Amino acid sequence: MTQSQTQRFSFSLEATDGKARSGRISTPRGEIRTPAFMPVGTAATVKAMMPESVAATGADILLGNTYHLMLRPTAERIAALGGLHKFMNWDKPILTDSGGFQVMSLAGLRKLSEEGVRFASHVDGSKHMLSPERSMEIQKLLGSDIVMAFDECPALPATEAEVAKSMQLSMRWAQRSRDAFGDRPGHALFGIQQGGVTQDLRAQSAEALRAIEFDGYAVGGLAVGEGQEAMFGVLDYAPDMLPVQKPRYLMGVGKPDDIVGAVKRGIDMMDCVLPSRSGRTAQGWTRRGQVNLRNARHQDDPRPLDADCTCPCCAKYSRAYLHHVFRAKEMIGGMLLTWHNLHYFQELMAGMRAAIASGTFDTWEAAFQIEFASGDI
Ligand SMILES: CNc1nc2c(CCNCC3CCCCC3)c3nc(N)[nH]c(=O)c3cc2[nH]1
Ligand SMILES: [Zn+2]
């Protein structure tokens, strides 16, 4: 074991600036600098990227997915092959979601009960079941470092009564997740706060989770179509309901301006498919906003996407080239632009970590907002 490695999971807060925090999560597989953006590796790959390239963008951790991997190639097969880290050649930390959210958004024939969710695979229609116990078992077989409790994220629109009922089910599932997870030093279990956009339900959920005790706490149930204003409205109070000395993970967020607003309100970790999905659909994200490389305006432009960006795409390739390869449906387009987008998202996090550490977050944020809204890219 090298000097820097630890057998335990721990979070140290290093600086705060207003509600924004910077710190680091120590795990046996390495450290995670916070605030952190976690790229999504749905089917044991961050699409269009080699793992070495994902590491080169500055990512300290990536996401795996219980739902996809239990269906194909199955968690048992990945375990037999040495676990998800070995399987996908990523030796840094992996966080896996618990699967419930993906079941509700992807699977067919879903039947929800107190026990869990029965569903038909979107891959081949085969029948499956997820419960707190089965989700814990799958995440253990995968070998993920940070395990998410099995929860239910209510689909919008939902009445307050439906949100309350769903949140209470998720809290019972949180207890069952905790009980099934057991005592696994070096591995973390995160609880997920639910409660929609209702402050009192959010408070009840936070109280229930604190009583169970988790290694970290996620703010769930957001980024489901409520819009940025409503999401920020919840983030104005929800993170403060969670233990201050534990990591706070906002699930499924988001666009650069969503991310900045969440960090400003006390969030430490986020994940989103946006940078990788956009990279495959010719959408470039930059400090001055979003660029559609399929637009004809780029076809003769010799400049890089962002002259100030140090990624391999901006170092060597022109907008004209990116425009051409996307029009020609060449794979290198998705490879280059995904790399750029992930690099930019990591640069955004590094900028915020430095600003928080030096107490200049407000100045940094003001400059970000002006540049990001400028659109002159
Ligand atoms: C996009 N918006 C959003 N995502 C949410 C997610 C998923 C977060 N991303 C996980 C990755 C997705 C791609 C495959 C790999 C895992 C949520 N997950 C859970 N468990 N609970 C939520 O309330 C919950 C809420 C979410 N809202
Ligand atoms: Zn770039």
User: What's the CA gap between 115 and 138, in Å, rounded?
Assistant: 16
Is the pLDDT at 2 greater than 70? The verdict is no
371, 283 contact by CB (below 8 A): no
Distance 57 CA to ligand 2 centre (A): 10
Residues 162 and 308: their CA atoms lie apart, in Å, by 48
Say yes or no: CB of residue 106 within 6 Å of ligand 1: no
Question: What ipTM does the predicted assembly reach?
Answer: 0.99
Tens digit of pLDDT for each residue in 120-169? 999 999 999 999 999 999 999 999 999 999 999 998 899 999 999 999 99
Q: Report the nearest atom of ligand 1 relative to the CA of 222.
A: 27
Please give the single-letter amino acid code of residue 268. Answer: D
Q: Is 97 a catalytic residue?
A: yes
Residue 279: nearest ligand to its CA? Answer: 2
**pLDDT above 90 covers what percent of the chain?**
95
Marked catalytic residue, from 60, 97, 151, 258: 97
DSSP bridge pairs for 102: none
**100 has pLDDT over 60:** yes
CB within 8 Å of 46: residues ≥ 6 apart: 39, 40, 54, 62, 276, 338, 342
How do residues 30-60 score in pLDDT, each as one tens digit?
999 999 999 999 999 999 999 999 999 999 9
Question: Does 100 contact ligand 1 (Cβ within 6 A)?
Answer: yes
Res. 107 pLDDT band, cuts 50 70 90:
confident
Cβ–Cβ < 8 Å for 123, 132: no
Q: How far is the CA of 285 from the centre of ligand 2 (A)?
A: 9
Q: Which residue is closest in CA terms to ligand 1's atom 3?
A: 252
Average pLDDT, the chain: 97
Q: For 223-237, what is the mean pLDDT?
A: 98
Q: 271 in ligand 1 pocket by Cβ < 6 Å?
A: yes
Q: Whose CA is nearest to atom 24 of ligand 1?
A: 220
Question: What pLDDT does 281 receive?
Answer: 98
Mean pLDDT of 83-89: 98
